[in-house]
Amino acid sequence: MNLHLKELGAYYRNLTRNMVLIITFVSITPMILVSALILFQFHTSFQEKVNAHLTTLVKKHKQNIDVFLNERLANIRFLARTFTFEELANESFLQDRLAALQDDFGPVFVDLGVVNARGIQVAYAGPFKLGMALYSTADWFQRAMNSNSFISDVFLGLRGLPHFIVAVC
């Protein structure tokens, strides 16, 4: 009978252990599944919010850059309309205009160049020695000639430095 009681005790211990494991498994599994679903939904929602914020931020910066570039275009257009080609082709006069622009707008304007209709730079004011550069085959020159003004993308030009061009005809 002693052996039977030992077997019965082992049986009840196993039964108790199995019941605890089953109850624990049954109660924790839904919690884990619900937590995983909530985490997935939160991650998806958070990604959408971050993407929406970044999209708005990029659009705002694009608008600011466009406004800035259009203002610079207006500055250059004002010079082209206010002074004659002959006046602007005078390098000391052009240097004075560059100094005035830099006084008003800071180092935004690095240099100014006057290019004739054949694409030859006839006057230059700025820190580089570009002299009589030939732009007739340059994409920005051809596009400016076709549309009366042009703002280029950033590129490496004759200087070998990244820059962009604001041109008016």
State which of 3-7, 9-13, 24-28, 63-67 shows the largest mean pLDDT: 63-67
Same domain membership, residue 129 and residue 57: no
Q: Which residues lie below 8 Å from residue 93, measured CB to CB, with a gap of 6+?
A: 83, 87
Which structural domain range is residue 74 located in? 1-82
- Residue ending a domain, among 82, 104, 122, is 82
Same domain, 38 and 3: yes
- CA atoms within a 13 Å half-sphere pointing along the CA-CB vector of 115: 24
- What would the pLDDT profile of 111-139 be if each residue is shown by its tens digit? 999 999 999 999 999 888 777 788 889 88
Do 71 and 105 lie in one domain? The reply is no
User: Are 29 and 98 in a shared domain?
Assistant: no
Q: What predicted TM-score, i.e. pTM, was given to this entire model? A: 0.71
The size of the chain, in residues, is 169
Cβ atoms of residues 158 and 124 within 8 Å: no
Question: Do 107 and 134 share a domain, yes or no?
Answer: yes
Reported as a pLDDT band with limits 50, 70 and 90, residue 3 is low
Q: Are residues 30 and 88 in the same domain?
A: no
Return phi, psi of residue 107, to 5°. Answer: -80, 20
pLDDT band at 69 (very low <50, low <70, confident <90, very high): very high
DSSP state of 161: S
DSSP 98-128: HHHHHHHHGGG---EEEE-TTSBEEEEESSS
Domain endpoint, select from 82, 117, 142:
82
Same domain flag for 59 and 39: yes
Give the chain's domain count: 2
Do both 5 and 55 map to the same domain? yes
d(CA 110, CA 101): 10
Measured CA to CA, the distance from residue 140 to residue 133 in angstroms comes to 14
Domain harbouring 155, CATH code:
3.30.450.20
How confident is the prediction for the chain on average, in pLDDT?
90
The pLDDT tens digits of the residues spanning 21-45 come to 999 999 999 999 999 999 999 999 9
